[in-house]
């Protein structure tokens, strides 16, 4: 890892001082994808092949959008995600597949809508395989990714921002992530631990998940900015959210926006076409939220526990919609404003949201049966034994 860091710094110096500006983008893509292929040869090769096949399947730029091809691409991508649990796919360890699939679906759908033109295979490969975001995002939109690139020069603001973001991510990794993971696993693995110890382990795990993921994004954004690529923010202090809707607007932001645009909104439109549901928008919104979050859980992995994790978030989102419409929505505007600006209400709501999100991490961490046993233990009902096998 140290040698990789040194090599990156040397390449950065050569990139901005020796490589001509017109060649910088190609130089970065070629070099970084070569490094990616060296570390993850099977995953990089398989996803590159998939990208080429999708590019060939989509209608060339300038022709009439073809929904038939787009639907075929989407169906193939969903089938790949569904097949991840098979022995063959597990053995291949296609890291980054779920993120690549979402990028490919985005391009296929927007091409069919006539909103997007992909001019060539190389920019498409660069977008799907972009190494800093390959393993864990963010999930960029194709046109935004292309517009964000500026390799003409590296100004001081970008250099300081990128460096600061990298140091911030490294600090999380070095000083917090490892300690929180150790504390969580120690508590999870202690069959005789008390309920208090189990809660401490769960909150340690909750912080670990956030800091580990956000640290990766810090590194991805920082490295990209140093080379002239501006990626989207993916986290904005989500554990300070006062409701579950706000949480998903601040947690894994690019995933939330993708799910909104390609699952929630199309599903809501489809349901609203039903005569029986058209006059029940709250039911449509709640059903769409639950289905979207179940899909989100299954996107993380094809296990019952992850589906239940998504279901839990969907129920919370649906419940929040009901609360806003049936409780807050019936209050006078002045009363609603007083509630929204009351700091004690915000603190209490933030605590409840954090508690619910943290409790649902149980289903993210454990298989479904062990999740229920761990929940029983949390609430003083049993000293159930919980294994350390993740879901």
Whole-angstrom Cα distance, residue 254 to residue 378? 33
Residue found by looking up tokens 């017109």 in the block: 22
DSSP per-residue letters across 33-100 = HHHHHHHSHHHHHHHHHHHHHHHHHSPPTTSPP-HHHHHHHHHHHHHHHHGGGSHHHHHHT-TTHHHH
Q: 263, 318, 255, 312: which is closest to 285 by C-alpha?
A: 318
Q: How far is CA 360 from CA 32, 302, 316, 353, 365, in A?
A: 37, 17, 10, 11, 9
* Catalytic entry in 55, 106, 252, 300: 300
- How remote is the C-alpha of 237 from its chain's centroid? 15
Q: What one-character DSSP code corresponds to residue 216? A: H
Q: Specify the 3-state DSSP secondary structure of 380.
A: coil
55 as an active site residue: the answer is no
CA distance 154 to 215: 23
Read off the tokens for 266.
């199309």
Cite the active site residues.
Answer: 300
């Amino acid at each position: 890892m140290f040698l990789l860091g040194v090599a990156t710094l040397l390449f950065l110096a050569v990139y901005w001082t020796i490589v001509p500006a017109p060649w910088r983008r190609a130089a970065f893509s070629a070099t970084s994808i070569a490094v990616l292929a060296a570390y993850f040869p099977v995953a990089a090769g398989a996803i590159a092949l998939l990208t080429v096949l999708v590019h060939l399947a989509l209608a060339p730029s300038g022709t009439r959008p073809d929904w038939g091809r787009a639907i075929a691409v989407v169906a193939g991508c969903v089938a790949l995600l569904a097949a991840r649990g098979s022995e063959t796919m597990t053995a291949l360890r296609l890291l980054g597949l779920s993120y690549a699939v979402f990028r490919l679906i985005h391009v296929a759908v927007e091409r069919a809508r006539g909103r997007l033109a992909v001019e060539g295979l190389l920019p498409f490969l660069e977008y799907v395989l972009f190494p800093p975001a390959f393993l864990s995002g963010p999930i960029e939109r194709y046109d935004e990714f292309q517009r964000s690139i500026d390799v003409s020069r590296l100004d001081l603001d970008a250099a300081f921002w990128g460096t600061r973001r990298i140091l911030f991510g490294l600090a999380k990794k070095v000083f917090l992530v490892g300690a929180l993971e150790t504390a969580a696993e120690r508590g999870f693995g202690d069959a005789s631990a008390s309920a208090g110890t189990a809660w401490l382990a769960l909150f340690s795990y909750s912080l670990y998940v956030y800091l580990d993921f956000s640290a990766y994004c810090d590194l991805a954004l920082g490295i990209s900015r140093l080379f002239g690529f501006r990626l989207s923010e993916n986290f904005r202090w989500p554990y300070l959210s006062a409701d579950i809707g706000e949480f998903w607007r601040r947690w894994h932001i690019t995933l939330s926006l993708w799910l909104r645009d390609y699952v929630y909104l199309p599903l809501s439109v489809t349901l609203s076409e039903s005569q029986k549901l058209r006059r029940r928008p709250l039911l449509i919104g709640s059903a769409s939220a639950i289905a979207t979050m179940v899909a989100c859980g299954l996107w993380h992995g094809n296990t019952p526990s992850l589906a239940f994790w998504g279901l839990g978030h969907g129920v919370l989102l649906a419940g929040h919609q009901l609360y806003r419409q049936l409780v807050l929505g019936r209050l006078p505007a002045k009363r609603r404003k007083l509630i929204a600006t009351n700091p004690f209400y915000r603190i209490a709501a933030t605590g409840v949201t954090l508690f619910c999100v943290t409790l649902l991490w149980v289903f993210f961490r454990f298989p479904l049966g062990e999740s229920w046993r761990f929940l029983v233990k949390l609430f003083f009902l049993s000293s159930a034994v919980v294994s350390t096998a993740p879901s």
